[in-house]
Amino acid sequence: MKGFVPPDPQTNVSQEHCAVIYAPRRNRTRFPAGCVDIVDTPERALALADEAKKTYPARVLGPSKSSEGQYIYYLMQWLDEA
């Protein structure tokens, strides 16, 4: 995937997770760790999402450290889109 730091093959630091993301606009591909709540299953992410609160279910990759020194997650897929 273009635009993200690939996971380190020798560690399990960055992994794919199901999550609920706070996103005022859904046009971003990376999110600060403070906007991402990791959950166990896609079903749980779908249940916890609330469009009125601007929280959406997603599959993310991370955490990864950005060049600014913040921990971020990369969007892999919105779970509520076909």
* pLDDT tens sequence across 3-12: 555 555 556 6
List for the chain the helix, strand, coil content (%; round to 5). Answer: 15, 45, 40
pLDDT at site 69: 87
Q: What is the DSSP letter of 35?
A: G
Look-up: residue for tokens 């916890």?
48
Q: Where in the chain does DSSP place strands (E)? A: 15-22, 30-32, 36-39, 55-65, 71-78
pLDDT in tens, 21-47: 999 999 999 999 999 999 999 999 999
pLDDT at site 77: 96
Residue 48 pLDDT exceeds 90:
yes
pLDDT at site 2: 55
The mean pLDDT of 48-70, rounded to a whole number, is 93
